[in-house]
């Protein structure tokens, strides 16, 4: 792998992978505009003559985080998401667009309020067909509790309910109990030094929202989170 930094904020990286692919990545950080990071990633496979080119944009300001992921050769397609925050209030949205079809492929939205002690959110995902309302409360230093209600407008009138609570036993372990609307109850004890804890909600990213579009953080819908934004 070869990495070149001709000047601050500009990085060129070239690598030949074990899949016999030549990858080139050009990064521009705070060069085009303050808070804007741009990545141009290309890939070439000599054996199959396959080519790929992507453009990723990240824009961060104290009250705004926005991202755009564009596949320049396949489609082309684009995925966008943005989060706006002010004094604990958060609003987010996500959209996907297919340039060749000239059509929006997906869209989601969410609104919520977050404080260190508690947070609440209402989300609409799957093209505004799956609705969720969630609440998280840090009761004290040892006890946390959360609840979530989900309704899918495409499958019927049934509302799914989930509740969970966590109790910190000591600095290295905690107990968790959870239940859902189909009478499934689970109990567990986690040793944080041996197993990563499963939290009901995070106080720094408490809003359930959107799947991240970067390939490094694809997670299940139940773990979708809204990036945290410092309150002004």
Q: Record the tokens describing residue 45, joined without a space.
A: 């496979």
**pLDDT band of 94, cuts 50, 70, 90:** very high
**pLDDT band of 43, cuts 50, 70, 90:** very high
| CB distance 78 to 69 below 8 Å | yes
**pLDDT band of 177, cuts 50, 70, 90:** confident
**pLDDT band of 48, cuts 50, 70, 90:** confident
Would the pTM of this model clear 0.75, i.e. be above it?
A: no
Cβ neighbors of 77 (< 8 A, separation 6 or more) are 70, 71, 96, 97, 98, 99, 105
How far is Cα 132 from Cα 92, in angstroms, rounded to an integer? 14
The residue with tokens 């002010």 is 86
Omega cis (within 30) before 76 = yes
User: Is the pLDDT score of 213 beyond 90?
Assistant: no
User: Is the pLDDT score of 159 beyond 70?
Assistant: yes
Sign of CA dihedral 186, 189, 193, 194: negative
- Provide mean pLDDT across the span 89-101: 93
Q: Record the tokens describing residue 196, joined without a space.
A: 């990563």
- Provide mean pLDDT across the span 148-175: 87
pLDDT of residue 204: 28
């Amino acid at each position: 792998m070869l990495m070149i930094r001709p000047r601050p904020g500009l990085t060129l990286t070239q690598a030949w992978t074990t899949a016999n692919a030549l990858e080139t990545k050009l990064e521009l950080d705070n060069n085009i505009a303050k808070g804007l990071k741009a990545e141009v990633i290309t890939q070439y496979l000599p054996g199959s003559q396959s080519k790929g080119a992507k453009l990723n944009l990240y824009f961060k300001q104290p009250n705004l985080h926005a991202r755009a992921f564009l596949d320049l050769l396949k489609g082309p397609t684009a995925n966008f998401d943005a989060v706006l925050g002010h004094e604990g209030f958060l609003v987010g949205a996500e959209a996907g667009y297919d340039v060749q079809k000239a059509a929006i492929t997906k869209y989601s939205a969410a609104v919520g309020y977050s404080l260190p002690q508690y947070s609440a959110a209402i989300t609409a995902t799957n093209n505004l067909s799956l609705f969720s309302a969630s609440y998280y409360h840090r009761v004290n230093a040892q006890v946390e509790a959360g609840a979530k209600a989900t309704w899918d407008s495409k499958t019927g009138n049934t509302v799914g309910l989930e509740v969970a609570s966590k109790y910190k036993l000591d600095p290295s372990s905690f107990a968790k109990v959870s239940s859902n609307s189909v009478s499934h109850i689970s109990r567990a004890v986690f040793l944080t030094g041996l197993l990563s804890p499963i939290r009901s909600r995070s106080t720094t990213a408490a809003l359930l929202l959107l799947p991240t579009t970067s390939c490094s953080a694809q997670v299940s819908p139940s773990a979708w989170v809204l990036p945290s934004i410092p309150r002004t």
